[in-house]
Amino acid sequence: MDTKELDAIVEATSSTSPTRKNKYRELWLAYVAEHGYDEAAENYLFDGYQLLAESTLAEYLSSCDQPLAAYQDVLRGARFQGTVIAQDTIKKLGLHLALLAGLLAQKKPDEQLLGAVAASTIRFSNKRGGMERLDQFPKMVNKFLVKPLRALEGQPVCSIRAFRMDDVLRKSFCKMIVESIPEEVARLDAPQFLRECKQLVGVDEAATEQEPDKHEKIIVRVAFAEPVVSVPDATKESVKEKMPTPAAEDEAIKLRNELAAQTKRADILAMKLEAAGKEREAATCKLEEADAKNAELQKDVAAARTRAESLHAELARKDEQIETLHAEIASRKEDYDRLEATLSKQQQASLNRLAQDLSIVYADFQDAQALEMSVDLGENLRDELADVFHTLGKYGLHFDA
């Protein structure tokens, strides 16, 4: 993949128009699909932080086999801790709110991932010490969560009840959202997600506007959706005496925050345990597959051994046949040699007899050489020559015209 266009977009962060954000999202997801989430992908992600659309990181995490593990690697891993964003609570909060909005826009987001992002949002929303909300929190909720949710109005959005997290943390998250943007929550056209947060917290707006009747009443609210208590005028003083003091409320807040932190840690450990269980299950499946493959290989090895033994036996039979043939050849060669010797002797004997039979004719021929040629001598030589051919014919040499 050619990264020149992605480099150019990341370098020119002064323009963050929707068009550039969509192009950045398209190119970054394409790079990760080809190369995986490597160091360059991380640099592109955090260097182009201002270009992040709500769906960019959400789409990548949801596409992973284990979204929660991918989230922990990207936004909690060692590499992330060295980035500028990791040192800036405001940016971390904005990133998590945008990620939450992107996940809510999906048809079926990962419930564990939703719970982890919501829990981290609670942590990043507080000032150092954890006792007060960040001053910018309401504005950031409107920008990174409410605005995207309004754009999704009419589309089904994942319920807050589907978030896989502790109920105390869930209510704490809802209470944090509701209290930070009460005007948005109170609107009749508030997004369904905000209305669910409001219902879960148990805020009853109608009760705050209710006029007192002849038995003047006061309204006492208790945190985390405890029932609204109506107290008659006659017992107002006794109720006031029993109302919690600011110090007690501060102590309760501290305890709730501590409980939320402990619950969050327990939730994280539970998620890690579940992830470890999945990894163990995956490892078991791989081991079973390896065992099955090993069994198949053992069958193949046994078949190969049987075939090898069969070939060895066949080779031994062929060797025996070759040895038999060698012995037969040697025997026939001996017979041939004997026959050849016999024939040679017979031939020599025949030649000797032939020489003996022609010796008389040859002696006459020698005598005739000293004589002057005459008719009688020619006739005799012709007769002698006829006897030669006759003798040769007896030994199988025939000269037919």
**Is it the case that residue 390 has pLDDT exceeding 90?**
no
Q: Three-state SS for 126?
A: strand
Give the mean model confidence (pLDDT) for residues 267-273: 85
What torsion, rounded to 10 degrees, do the Cα atoms 240, 241, 242, 247 define?
100
Mean pLDDT within 283-291: 87
Residue in the structure block whose two tokens are 């209710």: 210
| pLDDT given at position 115 | 92
Give 215's DSSP letter: S
**Lowest-confidence segment of 28-32, 259-263, 352-356, 383-387 by average pLDDT:** 259-263
| Percentage above 70 pLDDT, the chain | 83
| Average pLDDT estimate for 277-289 | 86
- Give which of 100, 222, 203, 223 is closest to 158, Cα–Cα: 100
Name 220's bridge partners: 229
Mean of pLDDT values over 255-283: 82
Tokens of 360: 């008389």
Residue 200: which of 228, 178, 180 has the closest Cα?
A: 178
Distance in angstroms (rounded) separating the CA atoms of residues 208 and 218: 10
Is 24 a residue whose pLDDT tops 80? yes
Considering the chain, what is the average pLDDT of its residues? 80
Which pLDDT tens digit goes with each residue over 177-218?
A: 898 888 888 887 888 888 889 898 874 343 344 444 433 333
Q: What is the DSSP string of 325-383?
A: HHHHHHHHHHHHHHHHHHHHHHHHHHHHHHHHHHHHHHHHHHHHTTSPP-HHHHHHHHH
Counting Cα atoms < 13 Å in the Cβ hemisphere of 189 gives: 7
User: Strand pairing of 229-231 and 218-220?
Assistant: antiparallel
Residue 77 in this model has a pLDDT that exceeds 50: yes
Nearest to 260 by CA among 154, 120, 67, 73: 120
Average pLDDT over residues 72-81: 80
Task: Give the per-residue pLDDT at 324.
Answer: 93
What residue type is 125 in one-letter code?
Answer: S
Q: How far apart are CA 349 and CA 351, in angstroms?
A: 5
18-35 and 54-63 are packed helices; what angle lies between their axes, rounded to 10 degrees? Answer: 20
Beta strands in 151-260 (DSSP E): 218-220, 229-231
* Helices and strands in the chain, H and E counts: 17, 2
Lowest mean per-residue pLDDT among 34-43, 116-125, 128-137, 312-321? 128-137
Structure-token pair, residue 171? 């209510």
pLDDT value, residue 311: 93
* Angstrom distance (rounded) from CA 160 to CA 274: 21
Of residues 382, 388, 168, the one with CA closest to residue 262: 168
3-class state of residue 41 by DSSP: helix
How many other CB atoms sit within 10 Å of the CB of residue 271? 20
Higher pLDDT: 344 or 77? It is: 344
Query: If DSSP codes are grouped into helix, strand and coil, which group holds residue 136?
Result: coil
Check residue 129 and give its pLDDT: 59
133-166: pLDDT as tens digits:
888 889 989 888 888 888 887 788 888 898 998 8
